[in-house]
Amino acid sequence: MAKIQNIFKGLLPTNKKQWKVFLACLGVSTILWSLLRFSEERGESVDVKLNFINYPENEILVSKVPKSISVTIQARGFELISRSFGFRTSNLEIDLAKTKVITKKDEKHYIWLPNQNSIQIAQAVGSKIKSGEALSKIDTIRLIFSERVEKKLITSFNYKINKAREHFVLKQPKIRPNQVTVRGAKSKLKNIDSIFTELVELELLDSDLHQAYKLELPDGVDSLYTDSVSVFMGVEALKESDLMIPISIMNAPDSLEFKLFPNQVKVTFTCVQSDLENIKNTDFRASVHFEDIKASFKRLNVTLNKFPKVKNIRIEPASVEYIIKSKD
């Protein structure tokens, strides 16, 4: 081990002058090695930016446009370094008027194949294309267009109630205009009937809402003749009221006579003030079931079989007594 250490010590410089010579030789050899290394050609993947021209008239792009493709080139190391630091970029212009077009229903597919356009790509990158392997990992570039058409869509208010104020109710929103004309891709618009406003979050409303809101463009729509709508939403306070409702007996045989105690119940409910005057006791139907009598129940539970759109319904009493006898 000591002999090996002595050998290495003998190879290293022993004074300052020798160290200078040693480092100078090392630097020169490193530079020469780098020049030889980077002057050699080798394969490398580079990004080529895509620029599409001659878009078809009166048609809308409905697919994503690729911004670039990665291709494998054969270049010297110095060129690859300049590309990696952004000193040299490649741009490829693709003329859609000269690409293959396939029509599918309401769409036109413009297809460009990188691996069949090696000469065009080589001219764009200014380097040799590496042979013996695929030019690009993307084998097909497809741009999909659809005819631009007009259609009327129903406007809808997109809202969410985060917190409602107690004893108040929101009425159905009224939107003006209730329809708008849009322009967009035929293949997309055929599946769209409505257009919504931006999402509006409502909290603790106790007065009418009357405000304009922006419409959001659905997928496939590129322009609107009207970009906003006016929304009115009434807010009404809930009022409590009650009515006396007679009780009927469900599925009772004609041979028996019944007496209920009491023979009517008080139904208490809440509704908005504007609906209260239109609600009558005939809008309710209270009943007991003969099956409960056959089960020998001492009291019969009262149920509501019919009632209008009201809230917080209560029945008093919830059950009644009865007497039953034969009609003969």
Position 133 pLDDT exceeds 50: no
**276 and 310 in contact (C-beta within 8 Å)?**
no
Between 9-13, 138-142, 212-216, 265-269, the lowest mean confidence (pLDDT) is in: 9-13
**Rounded to whole angstroms, how far apart are CA atoms 201 and 186?**
32
Q: Mean of the pLDDT values across residues 235-259?
A: 86
Position 195 pLDDT exceeds 70: yes
Position 134 pLDDT exceeds 50: no
Per-residue confidence (pLDDT) for residue 273, from 0 to 100: 82
